Structure 1
Amino acid sequence: MNRSLAIKFGAIALLMLLLLVPLMMIDGLIRERQYLRDGVLEDIARSSSNSQLISGPVLVVPYRQTLREWKTDAKGKRIQETREVSGRLFMLPDRFEVDGKIQTERRARGIYEARLFHANNHISGTFVLPAQLGIDEDFADYRFDEPYLAVGISDIRGIENALTLQLGDRQLEFTPGTQVSWLGDGVHVTLPRVDGRQQQRLDFEFDLTLQGTGQLQVIPVGKTSSVHLAADWPHPSFIGNYLPARREVTEQGFTANWQTSFFSTNLHEAMSSCVDTNRCESFNDRSFGVSLIDPVDQYLKSDRAIKYALLFIALTFAGFFLFEVLKRLAVHPIQYALVGAALALFYLLLLSLSEHLGFGMAYLVSAGACVGLIGFYTCHVLRSLGHGLGFATALAALYGLLYGLLSAEDYALLMGSLLLFSLLGVFMVLTRKLDWYGVGLARTSSRQPVDAEVAHE
C-alpha cells in the first residue's frame, strides 16, 4: 500500500473516532429526555392513580375460641383453667367472575402524555360455607362475630363509584379499608351473621369503577375464576402468570377471556402461607391482566437508531472512498468531516422532531433533510450532478434499510447481517479489478511534469 492511501485511511479512521464524541453526547441526551419523560409520567400517575391490582373478595369470619387446660396445683389436685383466644377464618369464593369494560384517556403535561384508563368492572361470585365452617373438633367452643367481605385495591384513589354489595336480596354499603393487612388497601363490607352449623351459600355481586395508569390486573381468587376484559385500546400487552384463553385484537380495541381454577393457581395454599407468615409474594404473583402500552416509544427507537450510527457513517465514508478511487477524484478529509457531521446531526433532528411529530414522520423529515443537504454538497464535491444524485439515492436507500431494521425487532439481526454481507459483496465486485498499489499514484504522476518544470527553472 502506498503512503498516500495509508494516510487517507488513517485520516478517515481518526475522523470516525472524533465523530463518536457528538454521537455519545446525543445518546446521553436521548437518555436524559427519556428519564424526564418517565418522571413526568410518574408524576401524572401520582396525581391521579397508579396501576391497579384487584385482590379479592375474601370472606373473613372473626371468632373467639374457648380453650380448656388441665393443670395440677401445689396440692396435687387437678383443676381446669379456661382462656379465650381470638382469630379469623379466611375463605375464598367457589365462583369468581369479572366482566370489565375499559376506556382509555390521554393526560398531557407539556409535550409528554400519559395513558389513563377507566375500568367499569362487574364482579360477582358465590361463597359456599361448609358445615361448621370447616372446623372439625370442639365446634361448640367457638363464638363467631359478624363476618365481612374484603376486597384489596392497590390504589384506592382510583375508585370512582359508591360501592354497594348485592348479597342475595340485600344491599350493603362498603366502607374504606380491608381490615386485612396482607390485602393492603381496599374496602370491606360487613355481612349478616352466619349460622356456622349448616352449609350456607352466599351469592354476591357489585360494580367497581376504577381509574388507573398503565396496567389493570386481577388475582383469580375463585375455585373457578372467569375474567373478561374489553377495551378501546388496540395495542394491549397481556401480562401476569396466565395468558388469556381467548383473545381478539382489532384496530378498534381488544377483548380477552381468562379461565382458571384452584388446580392451576393453587391459590388456597398461597393464601394460607400468606396468613401464617404475612408474606404474600406468592399470592400476589398469581395475578394476570393487561398493560395498555404505547406502541411508539420515540426514545427507545431513537436509542436503537443511534446504535447503528457508527456503521452508518462507515458505510457512507466507504461510498465516498469508492467514488474517490474509481473515478480518480480527490476528496479532502474536511469534506469527509462535513458529511459525517451532517450524518451525526440526523440523530439530533430525529430526537427533537419525534417529540412533536411522532417517530415515523420525524424519521422521514430528518432523513429527507440530511439526504437533500448531503446530495447537494456531493454534487459539488464529486464535480458531477449524476454522481451526486447517485450518492444521494444510495444514502436514501441506507436510511430506508435503517428504518426497516428499527421496525423489525425480531428480524433485526438477520436483516443487519444480510445488509452487511450484501454491501461487502458490492464493494468487492466494484473493486475487483482495482490496482490498490497504484491508488494515489495517478495524482502524483499528474503533478510530475509541473515538478520537473519547476526543477528546470
Structure 2
Amino acid sequence: MNRILGFKLGVIALLILLLLIPLSMIGGLVSERQYQREAVLQDIARSSSYRQQLTGPILVQPYTKVWQEWKTHAKSGERYLQEQQRSGRLYFLPERFELNGHVATELRARGIYQALLYRSDNQVSGAFKLPARLGLGDELGLYRFDTPFLAVGISDIRGIGNDLQLRLNGTTLGFAPGSGDKRFGAGVHAPLPALDSQGGQLLEFAFDLKLQGTEQLSITPVGRDSRVELSADWPHPSFVGEYLPSSREVSAQGFKAHWQTSFFATNLQEALQDCVHKDSCQGLAARHFGVNFVDPVDQYLKTERAIKYALLFIGLTFAVFFLFEVLKRMAVHPVQYALVGMALALFYLLLLSLSEHLSFARAYAISALACVSLIGFYISHVLHSWLRGGAFGVLLAALYGLLFALLSAEDYALLMGSLLVFGVLGGVMVLTRKLDWYGVGKNPSSSPGCVTAESQA
C-alpha cells in the first residue's frame, strides 16, 4: 500500500474517532432530556397518585391470649401460679376472591411531556370461610378477642375516588382510613361484628372501588380461588407480575384480560405466614399480577438506540465516499470528509429535537430528508457531477431506511445489522476485485484536495 492511500485511510479512521465526541455529547443530551421527562412524570404522579397495587381483603382478628404459668419465688422457693398474656392477630384469606374492573386512560401534559393516568372502576367480591374454632383447637378458651376488621392494602390511597362501603352478609359497613395493619402498608379497613368463635361461619363480602393511578395497576390474588378480569381502552398493555393472563384480547380499541389462580399456584398462605411470623413480607408483596400502561413510542429510547448504530452508519457512509474516490480516481480532502461526518452527526440532534414535538417516524423522515439533501448537494459539487451526487444521496437514503428498519424491528436488529455489514463488505469486494491498490494515489495528474479534468472523465 502506498503512502498516500495509507495516509488517507488513517485520516478517515481518525475522523471517525473524532466524530465520537459530538455523538457522545448528543447521547448525553438524550439522557438529560430523559431525566427531565421522568422528573416531570414523577411530579405529575406526585400531584395525583403513583402506580397502584391492591392487596386484600384479608380478615384480621386481634386477640389476647391469657394463661397461668407456675413460677418459683426467688427467696422462699415456694411455687405459685402467675397470669401471663400475649397479644397477637389471626389472619384469614378469602376462600373466593373476584375482581371485575374497567380502566379508562387519559393523557396529562406539562410542557412538551405527557403522562398517562388511568381511572379504574372495580367491583370486588368474595367470601371468607372461617375454620372450626378459628383454627385454635382446644386452646380457644384461653383467647379474648377484640374487634375484627377487614384490611385492604392500597399502595397510594390518594387514588381512592369513592366513599367505600362494605356489603357483608347483607349488612352495609363503612371503611376507615388505614389498612389497620402495618404489614399491608397504606389502605383502608372496615371494622366487623364479632366473629363466631366456633368457626364454620361464611362471610360474603362485596365493595366497589374507584382507583386512580399512573403507569401500572397490579393485584395480589389473595383468594384460595382468585379470578380477576380487567378491560381498558388502552391498546398497548404490558402484562406484568408473577402470573400471565389465562386469556386476553388486545385490539386497537383496547384490551380485555382474565386471570385465574389458586393457592396451589400462589402458595399465598405460606407467604402470609412468613410475613406475620418472620416479618418477611417480600414474598407476599411479590405475588401479584397486573398491567403496565406503556407508551409504545418512546422517542428517547429510539434515539438512544439510533446513536448506538452511529459509528457503523458513519463508517459505511465514509466507505461509500471512499469508493467513489478510489474507483473514479478522484482526490477528496479530509476536510470534506469531516463536513460530511458532521452532517451525519447532526442528524441525531435533529431527530432528538423534532421527535419531542412530532411522531418519531415523522421526525425521522424529516431529519433524514434534510441530511440526505444537504449531503447530496454538497457531494455533487465535491465530485463535480450531479449524477454522482444523486447516486450518493440515493445510497445514503437507503442506509437511513435500513437504520429505521433496525430501530423498528428490535427482535431482528442483530440479524439485520449482520446482513447489512455482510452485504456492504460483499459490495466493496465485488467493486474493487480488479482494482490495483498499489496504484491508487500514484496518478501524477491528480493531487490530494483537488479534482483534475482528467479525473472527471
Structure 1 segments, 4+ long, off by >4 Å, are 72-78
Matching residue of 2:221:
220
Matching residue of 1:13:
13
Matching residue of 2:262:
261
Structure 1: how far apart are the matches of 2:354 and 2:181? 50
1:332-351 residue pairs with structure 2 within 5 A? 332-351=333-352
Please, what is the CA RMSD of the aligned residues? Answer: 1.3
1:402-413 residue pairs with structure 2 within 5 A? 402-413=403-414
Structure 1: how far apart are the matches of 2:269 and 2:139? 24
1:57-456 residue pairs with structure 2 within 5 A? 57-73=57-73, 78-442=79-443, 444-445=444-445
Cα 1:55–1:446 change in 2 (3 A) is closer
Task: For residue 398 of structure 1, report the CA deviation from its aligned partner.
Answer: 0.2
Task: For residue 78 of structure 1, report the CA deviation from its aligned partner.
Answer: 4.7
Q: Count residues with an aligned counterpart.
A: 446
Task: For residue 24 of structure 1, report the CA deviation from its aligned partner.
Answer: 1.0
Q: Secondary structure at the match of 2:290?
A: strand
Contact 1:62 1:147 in 2 (8 A): yes
Contact 2:331 2:446 in 1 (8 A): no
Any idea what the Cα deviations from partners look like across 1:319-347, whole Å, max 9, x if unmatched? 11111111122211111111111101000
Contact 2:330 2:446 in 1 (8 A): no
Structure 2: how far apart are the matches of 1:75 and 1:349? 93
Structure 1 stretches of 5 or more lacking a match? 448-457
Structure 2: how far apart are the matches of 1:84 and 1:426? 87
Q: Secondary structure at the match of 2:83?
A: strand
Q: Secondary structure at the match of 1:137?
A: helix
Task: For residue 378 of structure 1, report the CA deviation from its aligned partner.
Answer: 1.2
Any idea what the Cα deviations from partners look like across 1:18-74, whole Å, max 9, x if unmatched? 211111111111111111111111111111110100011110111222212233556
Matching residue of 1:39:
39
Task: For residue 445 of structure 1, report the CA deviation from its aligned partner.
Answer: 4.6
| Amino acid corresponding to residue 56 of structure 1 in structure 2 | G
Any idea what the Cα deviations from partners look like across 1:164-210, whole Å, max 9, x if unmatched? 00112111110101110110000000111112114100000001111
Q: Identity over the aligned pairs, expressed in percent?
A: 63
Any idea what the Cα deviations from partners look like across 1:186-242, whole Å, max 9, x if unmatched? 000011111211410000000111110101011100011011111111111111111
Contact 1:67 1:85 in 2 (8 A): no
Task: For residue 277 of structure 1, report the CA deviation from its aligned partner.
Answer: 2.4
| Amino acid corresponding to residue 401 of structure 2 in structure 1 | G
Cα 1:84–1:391 change in 2 (3 A) is same
Task: For residue 76 of structure 1, report the CA deviation from its aligned partner.
Answer: 6.4
**TM-score, normalization: structure 2?**
0.95
| Amino acid corresponding to residue 307 of structure 1 in structure 2 | K
Q: Secondary structure at the match of 1:356?
A: coil
Q: Secondary structure at the match of 2:238?
A: strand
Q: Secondary structure at the match of 1:88?
A: strand
Matching residue of 1:455:
none
Structure 1: how far apart are the matches of 2:275 and 2:218? 19
Structure 2 stretches of 5 or more lacking a match? 448-457
Cα 1:401–1:446 change in 2 (3 A) is closer
Matching residue of 1:3:
3
Any idea what the Cα deviations from partners look like across 1:359-386, whole Å, max 9, x if unmatched? 1111000001101111111111111111
Matching residue of 1:451:
none
Structure 2: how far apart are the matches of 1:14 and 1:66? 84
Q: Which range is displaced more, 117-126 or 58-67?
A: 58-67
Q: Secondary structure at the match of 2:244?
A: coil
Cα 1:26–1:72 change in 2 (3 A) is closer
Q: Which range is displaced more, 47-56 or 78-87?
A: 78-87
Q: Secondary structure at the match of 1:413?
A: helix
Any idea what the Cα deviations from partners look like across 1:367-411, whole Å, max 9, x if unmatched? 011011111111111111111111100000000000011111111
| Amino acid corresponding to residue 377 of structure 1 in structure 2 | Y
| Amino acid corresponding to residue 39 of structure 1 in structure 2 | A
Contact 1:99 1:228 in 2 (8 A): yes
Cα 1:13–1:76 change in 2 (3 A) is closer
Q: Secondary structure at the match of 1:411?
A: helix
Q: Secondary structure at the match of 2:90?
A: strand
Q: Secondary structure at the match of 1:370?
A: helix
Task: For residue 311 of structure 1, report the CA deviation from its aligned partner.
Answer: 1.2
Matching residue of 1:453:
none
| Amino acid corresponding to residue 26 of structure 1 in structure 2 | I
Structure 2: how far apart are the matches of 1:143 and 1:426? 87
| Amino acid corresponding to residue 286 of structure 1 in structure 2 | R
Q: Secondary structure at the match of 1:227?
A: strand
Structure 2: how far apart are the matches of 1:399 and 1:364? 9
Task: For residue 271 of structure 1, report the CA deviation from its aligned partner.
Answer: 0.5
Task: For residue 75 of structure 1, report the CA deviation from its aligned partner.
Answer: 6.1
| Amino acid corresponding to residue 51 of structure 1 in structure 2 | R
